[in-house]
Amino acid sequence: MVAVAAVVTVTGAVAGTLSALEEDDAGGGRADEARPSVTRSFRPVHEHVPPSPSPSPPVSRTASASSASSAPRTSPAPTPTPTKATGEPGTAAPSARLYRHPGSQVLDWVTAHPDDPRHAVIADRIADRPAAVWFADFTPDTITARVRAVTSGGAAQGRVPVLVPYAVPDRDCGGHSEGGAPDLAAYDDWIDRFAAGLGPEEVIVILEPDSVAQAGCLSAAGRADRFASLARAGRVLKEAGPRTRVYYDAGHSGWHAPGKQAGWLRQAGAASAASSDGVFSNVSNFHTTADETAYDRAVLDALGGPAHLGAVVDTSRNGNGAPPDGAWCDPAGRRIGRAPTLTTGEDRIDAYLWVKLPGESDGCKGSPGTFSPSYAYDLARGPGR
C-alpha cells in the first residue's frame, strides 16, 4: 500500500482520507493550516504472501497528481431513497470520542451539493464519520504547525485525532505512491518536527502504512536501516506526546504470514513499550473485520512484547469483504464497514478506524485520490456484514 502527498499515493494497503498539506502562499492560503488533500489507493506490483480464503492485493493510499492517469468514470445517476443509519455493522453510530477533522473532500461535496439525491446517504454514512488525517508531503518547515492544528482541534473538542505520517524514504518502492523524505536522516528530522506538534492529549498515530509489509523490495541492509528509523520514530512520538498511541504496519490478512510479518515488526520496534502500542492492518483494503482481527491476534502472538499491545483495523471499505477476483481499483460491490470506534468489545483489538476515507477513488471512478460521489454512494447505500 502506498500513498503520495499533494494528491497522496499509497500502494500495498490503501490509505486515503484527509491529508494535511501545505497550501501555497501564492494561492492565498496559510502554509501552517491543515487542509484536506487527495488520497488514493493502489494495488502495488509486488509479491504478497500466502493465499487467504478471500485473497486481495495490498491497496495503495493516496495518489500524486503525476500518477493520476485513469480517466474518471461515472455511474448512472442514482435515485436513492435515503434512510437514516441503522444499527448494522456498516452503519452503526461512530464513537463520539474520535475527532472528525472539519476539512475533507466529502464534507466539501456535501456542502456544495445539498440537493443531490445522494446527499443524505453520503452525509449520514460517510461525511459524519471521523476519519484519519494524512501527512504525506515532505515539508519540514511547516509540519509542526500542521500537526498542531489537528491535535489542538481534537483537544478543543475533547476528542481523539488519528494521524498518519507517510513520508518514509523509498515509499511504495518507487510505485504509484513513491515519494517521501530524500533519505533517513531527513526523515528522522521530519519525525522530530512532526512529534513537536503533538500535545498532551490523546492521539493515535498510524505510523507509515506499508513501511513494514512492503519492505521486501529493500535490500537486507536497507530494511535494517528503515526498521531502525521506524523504531526511533515510535520512541520520539511517544516521548513527545504522553498520551500518544503509536501503531505499526502489519499489512493485512491476505499478505504476509503472521510469523514473517511479526519478525519484521519486531525489528521495527513494534514489540517495545517505548515505541509501540501495537499494530494496524487493512489500511485502504477490503478484508473482513473477522479475518483481520484473527490475523492481527496471530501477529501479536508471534510478535511478543508487553501484554498491552493491541491492534487497530481499517474498516472503511470492508463491509462486504475483499473481491473474490482480487480486484483492487474501486471494485464494485464493496460497502463501508463498521463505524469508527475506540470500543470494539474484542480482545486485543483497540479500535476500528477509517484510515482510508470512503469515496476517495483508487483511480477508476475518478482521478486517483479525488472524491467520487458515485463511488461513495455505492459504498454507503447498502449494509455490509
* pLDDT at residue 103, as a whole number: 84
In which band, very low, low, confident or very high, does the pLDDT at 95 lie, cut at 50, 70 and 90? low
Least confident of 84-98, 230-244, 259-273: 84-98
In which band, very low, low, confident or very high, does the pLDDT at 20 lie, cut at 50, 70 and 90? low
Mean pLDDT over 164-190 rounds to 91
Least confident of 23-32, 89-98, 107-116, 180-189: 23-32
Which among 229, 250, 255 has a CA at the least distance from the CA of 349?
250
Mean pLDDT over 30-41 rounds to 30
* pLDDT at residue 383, as a whole number: 59
| Residue 101 CA neighbour count, 13 Å, CB half | 30
* pLDDT at residue 177, as a whole number: 75
* pLDDT at residue 151, as a whole number: 98
Give every CB contact of residue 21 below 8 A, 6+ residues apart in sequence: 5, 6, 35, 37, 135, 136, 137, 139, 146
Model confidence pLDDT, tens digit, residues 343-362:
999 999 999 999 999 999 88
Mean pLDDT over 238-259 rounds to 97
Greater confidence (77 vs 266) lies with: 266
Model confidence pLDDT, tens digit, residues 198-212:
999 999 999 999 999
Q: What is the CA radius of gyration of the chain?
A: 18
* pLDDT at residue 169, as a whole number: 96
Which among 384, 380, 340, 311 has a CA at the least distance from the CA of 122?
380
Residues 125, 348 contacting (CB under 8 angstroms): no
User: What DSSP letter does each residue of 40-85 carry, written as one string?
Assistant: B----SS---S--SS----------GGG--SPP--PPPP-------
Model confidence pLDDT, tens digit, residues 267-313:
999 999 999 999 999 999 999 999 999 999 999 999 999 999 999 99
Instruction: List the 133-135 sheet strands across, edge first.
Output: 18-19, 133-135, 162-165, 203-206, 244-249, 278-281, 310-314, 349-353
Give every CB contact of residue 306 below 8 A, 6+ residues apart in sequence: 271, 273
* pLDDT at residue 368, as a whole number: 74
Average pLDDT, the chain: 80
Mean pLDDT over 180-188 rounds to 97
In which band, very low, low, confident or very high, does the pLDDT at 84 lie, cut at 50, 70 and 90? very low
Residues 104, 18 contacting (CB under 8 angstroms): yes
Q: Cα(56)–Cα(373) distance, rounded to whole angstroms?
A: 24
Give every CB contact of residue 287 below 8 A, 6+ residues apart in sequence: 52, 54, 56, 252, 253, 254, 295, 318, 321, 322
**Hey, what's the cell of 19?**
491529508
Residues 249, 212 contacting (CB under 8 angstroms): yes
Greater confidence (41 vs 331) lies with: 331
* pLDDT at residue 25, as a whole number: 32
* pLDDT at residue 262, as a whole number: 98
Residues tagged active-site: 172, 210, 362
